[in-house]
Amino acid sequence: MNRDVEAAPLDGSWIHTTMVATRYRGMGVAEALMRQAIAAAREAGADELRLTVFAGNAPALALYGKLGFRPGGSPALEERLEAEARRSGRRQVALRLALAGAASAPAAAAAPVRVSAAEAAP
């Protein structure tokens, strides 16, 4: 079977979209959903969990940082995100959470993910 080379930057386990209805925000719903997704990925044997998030989404960046996600993407994925930013005017950043051998998010992971001005600009 021939593998699509274009799909290579998207290999692995991903969170595609996480959304919470406005009236339920701030109640821990997104955190609970993410913790379930992290547990399911670990149970499935994933080494890491990846996602993209809009650079200006401070609440999501804070949550993902609290859960241990850190900036990280392949050069090919970064190229895709840069091209999308040029088309749409909205910059996304790639984040990843190492899962292998970790029973829970590290204690030092409580800090929000920081995005530089260069990363936030389209």
pLDDT tens string 60-110: 999 999 999 999 988 889 999 999 999 999 999 999 999 976 444 444 445
Q: Higher confidence at residue 10 or residue 55?
A: 55
Is residue 8 one of the residues assigned to a domain? no
Q: For the chain, how far is it from start to end, CA to CA, in angstroms? A: 37
- Sheet containing 48-54: order of strands: 13-14, 48-54, 92-98, 70-71
Domain carrying residue 46: 13-120
Is residue 7 one of the residues assigned to a domain? no
Model-level pTM greater than 0.85?
Answer: no
Domain count, the chain: 1
Quote the mean pLDDT of the chain.
Answer: 83
Is residue 52 one of the residues assigned to a domain? yes
Is residue 2 one of the residues assigned to a domain? no
Is residue 86 one of the residues assigned to a domain? yes
Check whether 121 has a pLDDT greater than 50. Answer: yes
Q: Where are the alpha helices (DSSP H) in the chain?
A: 29-43, 58-66, 75-88, 117-120
Cβ distance 100 to 47 under 8 Å?
Answer: yes
Question: Residue 92 sits in a domain of what CATH number?
Answer: 3.40.630.30
